[in-house]
Amino acid sequence: MKKHHTLIHGVPMLILAAFLSACFARAAEPQIPQQAKIVQARLIPALKPAVREWISQEAKKVSRSSVVNEAAVKADIQTHFAGQSLVGGDIETLTLLVMMETAQDAEKDLKAVMAEMKAAQREAASKLKREESGIKAAARQEYTRPATTNLQARPGLVKSQSVDQAVDSTKAKLDSKSELGETESLRLQMAMDRLSKLEATLSNLLKKASDTQSNIVNNLK
């Protein structure tokens, strides 16, 4: 019976640990710099439609990449806007706008992963609770059954095949849930790392880009 007791009461602890882990991760979620949002809100509406479309397309390109490559974005800017009157500050500001949109996409991805994890945890907790109740009921029935043989006269040592199968089945499901939890945790960590990298990139670009003096709106065609 001790085997069942340990298994049954271990289930909620696994779910609780996963939930607390997700809550901790949420508390440490990277945040997009507020100043970058202000720059975006001020400049994007003033840019020409073709420039805004290019920014969106470039942001999607960065989002599809496995790494955040600031130098690659700047190279794309110089290629796409070759021949236009861009100064250093303009390139930094335009890179900032691309990275800002990329960061917003990354933030949405992170929230989606977290929502999926919470939904999976709720579903797992519900299913395992039902299985726990079933195993308890089967165990109670087994150990209250009248003895019919000498072996069965030794309560606590004889377990029915159905109860053992239920325990083994629950173990397998726990292992599966554990593997799923590790996969989801890895997805969460990767999403957080990406957003954190974009946050650092934006903060760096904000220091370089003199957006209050930039003539980027007039320079880009």
Q: Concatenated DSSP letters for 121-190?
A: HHHHHHHHHHHHHHHHHHHHHHHTSPP-STGGGSTTT---HHHHHHHHHHHHHHHHHHHHHHHHHHHHHH
pLDDT higher at 137 or 178: 137
- The count of domains in the chain is 1
Q: CA angle, 112 as apex, 106 and 118 as ends, to 5°? A: 140
**Is the C-alpha dihedral spanning 28, 32, 35, 41 positive or negative?**
negative
- Is residue 90 one of the residues assigned to a domain? yes
- Is residue 86 one of the residues assigned to a domain? yes
pLDDT higher at 134 or 104: 104
Residue 66: phi, psi to the nearest 5? -75, -15
- Considering just the CA atoms, what is the radius of gyration of the chain in Å? 28
Is 90:210 a contact under the CB 8 Å cutoff?
no
- Is residue 150 one of the residues assigned to a domain? no
Question: Using the 8-state DSSP alphabet, how is residue 32 labeled?
Answer: -
Question: Using the 8-state DSSP alphabet, how is residue 214 labeled?
Answer: -
Domain interval for residue 186: 2-144+155-219
pLDDT given at position 2: 43
- Is residue 132 one of the residues assigned to a domain? yes
pLDDT given at position 178: 52
pLDDT given at position 49: 94
**Is the C-alpha dihedral spanning 19, 196, 103, 27 positive or negative?**
positive
pLDDT given at position 59: 97
Distance of alpha carbon 188 from alpha carbon 194, whole angstroms: 10
Confidence of residue 88 (pLDDT cuts 50, 70, 90): low
Question: 168 in the Ramachandran plot: left (φ > 0), alpha (ψ -120 to 50) or beta?
Answer: alpha
> Which tens digits make up the pLDDT trace of 37-50?
999 999 999 999 99
Output the furthest CA–CA distance in the chain (Å, rounded).
Answer: 97
> Which tens digits make up the pLDDT trace of 122-174?
777 777 777 767 776 766 676 665 555 554 444 444 445 555 566 566 556 55
Share of residues in the chain with pLDDT > 70 (%): 62
Over 80: is that where the pLDDT of 31 sits?
yes
Distance of alpha carbon 73 from alpha carbon 110, whole angstroms: 23
- Is residue 149 one of the residues assigned to a domain? no
Distance of alpha carbon 53 from alpha carbon 61, whole angstroms: 12
pLDDT given at position 210: 65
Over 70: is that where the pLDDT of 111 sits?
yes
Is 76:99 a contact under the CB 8 Å cutoff?
no
- What beta strand segments (E) does 95-190 contain? none
Question: Using the 8-state DSSP alphabet, how is residue 144 labeled?
Answer: T
pLDDT given at position 27: 46
- Is residue 51 one of the residues assigned to a domain? yes
pLDDT given at position 96: 95
- Is residue 9 one of the residues assigned to a domain? yes
Over 50: is that where the pLDDT of 214 sits?
yes
Q: Which amino acid is at 176?
A: S
Share of residues in the chain with pLDDT > 90 (%): 35
Nearest to 114 by CA among 1, 18, 5, 15: 18
For the chain, what is the mean pLDDT?
75
What does the pLDDT average to over 12-26?
48
Global pTM reads 0.66
pLDDT given at position 21: 53
